[in-house]
Each structure stands twice: as C-alpha cells, then as structure tokens.
Amino acid sequence: MAARLRLLLALGIPCAAALAGGQPGSGLTAAAGSLTLSRIASIQAPASMSAAELEGWRKAAERGEVAAQTQMGSMYYLGEGVAPDVREALGWYRKAAAQGDPKAQTLLGLMHEDGEGVARDAGEAARWFRLAADRGDAEAQTRLAEHYYQGEGVARDPAEARRWFRLAALQGSAPAQAKLGAMCYLGEGTARDTVEAMKWFRLAAAQGDASAEGCLGLMYAMGDGVPADLVEAYGWLLRARDGGDPQAGRTLETVERALTPAQIEAGRLRAAK
C-alpha cells in the first residue's frame, strides 16, 4: 500500500509547478491568477459617494493630486459614482502613473496584461510592473516575477522570477510566498530546498492560500522534507480542497483510501484547527 500510495501521490507534484506559475509558455492567464484588476481596484474605490464628494475628488485630480487621480481611475473602472468607463479609468491611471504612483502603475500593468481598454501587450505590462516593483509594490513584484517565470514580455529567467517573488513574499504577499515555496521545492532559480519550501508554504497557508495548503499536504503525504504523516497530510489537503484547490481534492481522495475512519476524523479535526 505504501509504495502504491507514493506512486499515486507523485502524480500530484505538478501542483507545485502550477503554483510557481505553470509551465513556461502556458500564458499568464493560466498562471495562479490571484491578482486581478478588479480585486486591486476595489481596495481603493469607496463603497458609495455623494455628488459633492465626487466633485471634490475630480477637482483634486485635475489639480494634479496623484492619489485623487488614482482614485478617479478606480471609480471609473468600477462605476462607483460614475458610469463605468475603462478608457476614462485608463486616462486617470496614466496621469497618476506618470507622477510615479506605484498603485496606478500596477493597475496599468494589469490592464495591458488583460487587454482592458488597450491592446494586450505583455512587454508593456512588464514595463509598468517593473516601475511599480522598483517602488516596492508587492502586487507588481509578484506579477513581474510571473512574467520572468513565464518568459512573457521579458526573457524567461527563473532566478530573476525568484528574486521578485522573494521581495513580495518578505512583504507578506501570500501568493508570492506560495510561489516562492514552489520554486524552492522544485529547485527552480535556486537549489532544491524542501526546508525553505516548507517555510514559505506555511507562511502562505497561514493566510489561507489554498495552493500552499495543498503543497503542504503533498509534502506530508510523501514524507518529502518532513516526516511522513498521512493524518497531517489529510488535514492540509482538506483545507486546500475546501479553499478551492481542485488538485488537492484529487490527492485527498488518494490519501483517504490509506486511512482508517479514526485517522480521517483526526485529520478533519486538524483541518478545523
């Protein structure tokens, strides 16, 4: 049973490859995709706004106040207080980005990456991400790392990808922590290091990153970098599956067949904690 289980679990290793950004050339849309324009923009736009408040923001933006320009871009993108208008959003983001606002630069990168209001252009997206990444924006650092990992818009460079993932991970970005863990696990851009991989997976999992939870489950199931513990593996894989990782669900089924009912219940209790 143990040999069969290990063979079946070995098929789950691509979960780490997908975590690190997918196979080269698979496209950024197929990569982790945890960062989206609407997700970032929604952090900035207010839930509701009166006509007077809107006018105040507009006047401040027209005076050249960079925060107001970025805010106006987000309002037009989301249709908060105004009719949705991606091209108008693009215009305001460009004004703020020209003044060095890293959030606007990141959003412009995402718009070029997704082809929203502009032609899709991976090179232009990477250019905006680099400007924001150099100013310390964790989202931009993560997206730039994805471009280097995939080789889209820039020459493929796993070592450079790892460098940017690490900078974002040190700022607490869960997606970057998970991807850095995957690169350490696979030995991409660095020597393979399961201890370092486990560290980053744990940090990402502590923030609820389902892919990191799945990779922790896989490592415990295979005894790779940690002592084999199928109950612990079951707990992590259960959390990952419930968090939306479909591959974790398939690995969970394999592990479950090797456990007793009592062990399954113990794994459920660990997942709940």
**Angle of the 194-205 helix axis to the 174-186 helix axis, nearest 10:** 160
The torsion angles phi and psi of 155, rounded to 5 degrees, stand at: -70, 140
Query: What pLDDT score was predicted for residue 42?
Result: 43
Residue 94 forms part of a structural domain: yes
pLDDT of 89: 93
Any domain includes 8 = no
Q: Give a yes or no: residue 54 inside a domain.
A: yes
| Tens digit of each residue's pLDDT (9 = 90 or more) over 77-89 | 988 888 889 999 9
Residue 237 located in a structural domain: no
Phi, psi for residue 151 in degrees, rounded to 5: 75, 40
Please say if the pLDDT value at position 64 is more than 70: yes
Which one-letter amino acid corresponds to residue 20? A
Q: Is residue 77 part of a domain?
A: yes
What residues have CB less than 8 Å from 54, skipping those under 6 apart? 75, 81, 82
254 domain-assigned: no
Q: What is the pLDDT of residues 126-141, one digit of tens each?
A: 999 999 999 999 999 9
Chain segment 160-189, per-residue pLDDT in tens: 999 999 999 999 999 999 999 999 998 888
Answer whether residue 68 is part of any domain: yes
Q: To 5 degrees, how large is the angle CA 112–CA 118–CA 120?
A: 50
For residue 268, what pLDDT band results from cuts at 50, 70 and 90?
A: very high
CATH number of the domain bearing residue 101: 1.25.40.10
DSSP 95-130: HHHHTT-HHHHHHHHHHHHHTSSS---HHHHHHHHH
| Contact (Cβ atoms closer than 8 angstroms) between residue 6 and residue 205 | no
- On the question of pLDDT at 20 being above 70, the answer is no
Domain count of the chain? 1
Query: Where in the sequence is the domain holding 99, given as residue range(s)?
Result: 26-136
When the pLDDT of each residue in the chain is averaged and rounded to a whole number, the result is: 84
* 261 assigned to some structural domain: no
